[in-house]
Amino acid sequence: MLTAKMQDALNTQIHEEFFSSYLYLSMAAWCESNNFDGFAHWMRMQAQEELFHAMKIYDYVNAVGGRVTLKAVDAPATEWDSPLAMFEASYAHEQFMTKNINNIVDIAHDEKDHATENMLQWFISEQVEEEATVDAICGKLKMLGDSGHGIYMMDRELAVRAAPAPPAAE
């Protein structure tokens, strides 16, 4: 059974994951409006992955007898100066999400909630991957600078991202 503090923290994270999905979808919309179809595809896949993350926590809360309470999702940003600026915003957001997950792990540890702490280990590993992936894209975009040809090639590279698979149920 979840403590009230743990349940509140998980519900807050569900909200943050839904916001993340919404943010990445907004980034995809910006890309599409600027003819960056490959970047848009990558962001759509990221939005879908974040939705899966929200539902993984949602399902967990229900499985352990907690109660999910959903909150309104705020409107995300809708404009970026460039693909690099957009990916830098994505990287900052992923760092924020990592901090959130780490804080929830601390709560689970303090509450002696071993099951939740165990479930959250998946998210810790996932955040390492998320930050590394976005940071690598930022690095490539920085190398390209204002090279239209380079941005075009990067757009094509990101267009082949496969759809994410939902995380396995635990």
Cβ burial, residue 159 (10 Å; 0-12/13-18/19+) = middle
Tell me the residue range of the domain where 62 lies.
4-158
pLDDT of residue 24: 98
The mean pLDDT value for 35-57 works out to 97
Q: Which of 83, 80, 88 is nearest to 152 (CA)?
A: 83
Cβ burial, residue 89 (10 Å; 0-12/13-18/19+) = middle
* 3-state secondary structure labels for all residues of 49-93: HHHHHHHHHHHHHHHCCCCCCCCCCCCCCCCCCCHHHHHHHHHHH
Whether residue 46 is contained in a domain is answered as: yes
The mean pLDDT value for 84-94 works out to 98
The mean pLDDT value for 33-62 works out to 98
pLDDT of residue 170: 57
The domain tally of the chain equals: 1
Whether residue 150 is contained in a domain is answered as: yes
The overall pTM is greater than 0.85: yes
Whether residue 168 is contained in a domain is answered as: no
Whether residue 120 is contained in a domain is answered as: yes
pLDDT of residue 55: 97
The amino acid at 48? Q
Q: Domain containing 130 — which CATH number?
A: 1.20.1260.10
Whether residue 52 is contained in a domain is answered as: yes
Whether residue 165 is contained in a domain is answered as: no
Whether residue 170 is contained in a domain is answered as: no
pLDDT digits over 140-170, tens only?
999 999 888 999 999 999 999 998 888 776 5
Whether residue 14 is contained in a domain is answered as: yes
| % of the chain residues with pLDDT over 70 | 99
